[in-house]
Homo-oligomer: A and B are copies of this chain.
């Protein structure tokens, strides 16, 4: 039960934080634009961003899409109960579905929490019943509809 404490030393300083904040607001900023805002030279920023990516602090550059704008009107947080020994296997399988945007194991009412995007309630019902529900080890699927996203 007792274990050797691993030493964790990650050097993240104020400059890294500022770069991350700028890139979260606009992931398309060039190194030059970031450099200007922070009053530093471009090569410094380039090296820092490179390091943040190599350390996997930045997992990826991406775009945030508004699902309703592309006809996906039903966004749901879907809790999933699984047979405990199949927890990891089922979680991995869920990651493969395009309709499922997020997958996490959690300590809430359900061991797995996902976010699903569907055209409407009818389509969500079909995804739950015909695509997700048939995965071996899944026992119960509990969707909660997102009424309105205000942030994130």
Residue positions of A touching B, CB distance < 8 A: 1-14, 16-17, 20-21, 23-28, 55-66, 69-73, 76-77, 81, 83-88, 91-92, 94-95, 98-109, 111, 113, 115, 117, 119-122, 124-126, 128-130, 132-134, 138-152
Contact = CB atoms under 8 A, between A and B. Distances in A.
Identical copies of this chain, number: 8
Given A10-B71, A105-B150, A60 B121 contact: no
Contacts of A145: 106-107, 121, 145
Given A20-B63, A107-B108, A107-B145, 16 more contacts: A1-B98, A3-B71, A23-B63, A25-B62, A26-B61, A26-B62, A28-B28, A56-B66, A85-B129, A87-B133, A101-B151, A101-B152, A105-B150, A113-B144, A115-B152, A125-B147
Q: Which 8 A-B pairs have the closest CB atoms?
A: A84-B133, A108-B144, A102-B152, A121-B147, A27-B61, A87-B129, A5-B71, A85-B133
Nearest to A141: B84
